[in-house]
Structure 1
Amino acid sequence: MEDDDVRERLAAVRDRVRRACEAAGRAPDAVTLLLASKAQPLAAVRAALEADADLRAAGLRAAGLRAAGPVPAPVLLGENRVQELVAKAPLLADLDPAWHFIGPLQSNKVNAVLRFARCVQTVAAPELADRLAARAAGLPAPLDVMVQVNVSGEPTKSGVAPSAARALALHVAALPGLRLTGFMTVGANSPDERVVAAGYDALRALRDEVVTGGAPGTAAADGLSMGMSRDLELAIAHGATVVRVGTAVFGSR
């Protein structure tokens, strides 16, 4: 894909997010865009980061002239595979992207991920949380983590069961070296929007229960990473604060 194609696709996704926020009565900067770079060539990822910087700069200039609303935050980068994160991150370090790890993580790969990722969105077991906490102890700042919840119950999806998610969240929140920032899910694989939306509502209700419960370490756990290229509008309508987009920006893998 040419750089201009990436820029046009990114601008179109930014506009989708903006319009979805408006339709939901939310501020235009209420949702952060995460670019899922799995299996994407380095050149395309670099082009997306550079295009985002240009688009945001243009937005800031326009906002200054029009006294418009806030400009959205820079895109995040999300990687599903440890080997791709380790390969890409050093070559994009000059752009200083914020990497989130969004795939299954084995305990023996924690050290490699912590070299680059600012957030791990896929904590689905206390053992992984404990491992991350032990390794994050030497970091200059706490590691941001999200609890991944399988809201649909589909066996093909990763994540803790909703019935066990609150206990896991409180376990994570109590660990030194970690900062619980919210919850992540992959929506149900269903053509029925009501089914998908019900899962998103369940995740939002879980988030609200944890944040309002007042347990130590839960005050910052208001994030909801949910929604992808096909359904970001639905996810935003149901409270997403991060949407994970890949093909809508990069095209098919």
Structure 2
Amino acid sequence: MSDDGVAEVAARLAAARRRLRAAEASAGRPPGSVRLLLATKTMEAAVVRAALVADRDGTDRPAGELPVLVGENRVQELVAKAPELADLAPGWHVIGPLQSNKVNAALRWAACVQSVDDLALAERLQRRCEAVDRTLEVLVQVNVSGEATKSGVPPAAAADLAVRVAALDRLRLRGFMTIGARSPDEGVVRAGFAALRDVRDEVLARGAPGTADAGELSMGMSGDLEAAVAEGATLVRLGTAVFGARPAAPA
């Protein structure tokens, strides 16, 4: 990757961080209360490395703010990039649909799976974690918009699913994830994010075993992070805001 390309990624990351800080301030939230995850779908490992190195330089990161995380939609990309970036030891999250036959490959690298949307997948993750003697952080994905193109459990069923996932002893339920409504109406988008917050609050209020640490809200992307932060996001997933337009995905 050229020096100019590295500098452009670093500049975009700094701009994204400033945008996130501004959103926090506008929402009356303290700096650093929302963590940044780099959504690296279709990005080459060298491009991801440039962002990680810029983040670790820390010149644009407020004191005490945690380093960025890295999220992959496709397991095949995760297993291709992770070895090339192992020296930087990023925290890898699976943020796209996870097929049962990809669980073994995903868990070689992933610290968290954000896309648990049914009990069968949770139980498959549980069995694999038992086999390799590890624990795994998970988020329950909720389809707050009801759009057929989006994965996730319906909001009305999300709390019950979360309680059942939390009962699996090799999984650590950390919270909830959603993809915002595809709408130009900010009110519609914010309503969806508020619905995810309501699911989280319901689960915490129940006090079921394994749910005490389920406070994370992974919501908001490059186009709607301000709405997500206003509604309580603790983690935003940014791709184009940091990397620019995505190249075409491999077949």
After TM superposition, is the score higher than 0.5?
Answer: yes
Q: What root-mean-square deviation, in Å, do the aligned CA atoms of Structure 1 and Structure 2 show?
A: 1.3
Q: How many pairs align?
A: 243
1:53-64 → structure 2 map (5 Å cutoff): 53-54=56-57, 56=58, 58=59
- How far is 1:43 from its partner? 0.9
Paired residue for 1:191?
A: 184
Question: In the alignment, is the contact (CA less than 8 A) between 1:152 and 1:199 conserved in 2?
Answer: yes
Between the aligned partners of 1:162 and 1:38, the Cα distance in structure 2 is: 26
- Say whether the 8 Å CA contact 1:28–1:70 is kept in structure 2: no
Q: Shift in Å at residue 25 of structure 1?
A: 1.4
**Structure 1 residue 51 corresponds to structure 2 residue 44:** no
**Match of 2:230?**
237
- Report percent identity of matched pairs: 63
* Cα displacement (A) at 1:120: 0.1
Matched position secondary structure for 1:179: strand
The answer as to 2:210 corresponding to 1:217 is yes
Looking at structure 2, the residues matched to 137 and 72 of structure 1 have their Cα atoms a distance apart, in angstroms, of 33
Q: Of residues 201, 214, 217 in structure 2, which corresponds to 1:208?
A: 201
- The answer as to whether partners of 2:24 and 2:230 remain within 8 angstroms in 1 is yes
Runs of 4+ in 1 over 6 A off after TM superposition: none
- Of 127, 134, 148, 2:141 maps to 148
Q: How far apart, in 2, do the equivalents of 1:139 and 1:178 lie?
A: 13
Deviation at 1:136, TM superposition (A): 1.1
| 8 Å contact from structure 1 (residues 149, 162) kept in 2 | yes
| Unaligned segments of structure 2, at least 5 residues | 247-251
Return the TM-score normalized by structure 2: 0.94
Deviations along 1:140-190, one digit per CA (max 9) or x if unpaired, are 652000000000000010001111111110011000100000000000000
2:23 alignment partner in structure 1: 20
Deviations 1:75-123 (A, max 9, x none): 0000000100000001100000000000010111100000000000000
Distance in 1, matches of 2:119 and 2:192, equals: 23
**Matches of 1:42 and 1:109 in 2, distance apart?**
20
Distance 2:38 2:6 in 1: 15
Mapped partners of 1:131, 1:200: distance in 2? 28
2:7 to 1, 4, 26: 4
Note the C-alpha offset of 1:233: 1.0
Q: Residues 17 and 60 of structure 2 are in contact (CA less than 8 Å); yes or no, is this contact kept in structure 1?
A: no
Aligned equivalent of 1:34? 37
* 1:211/1:221 contact within 8 Å kept: yes
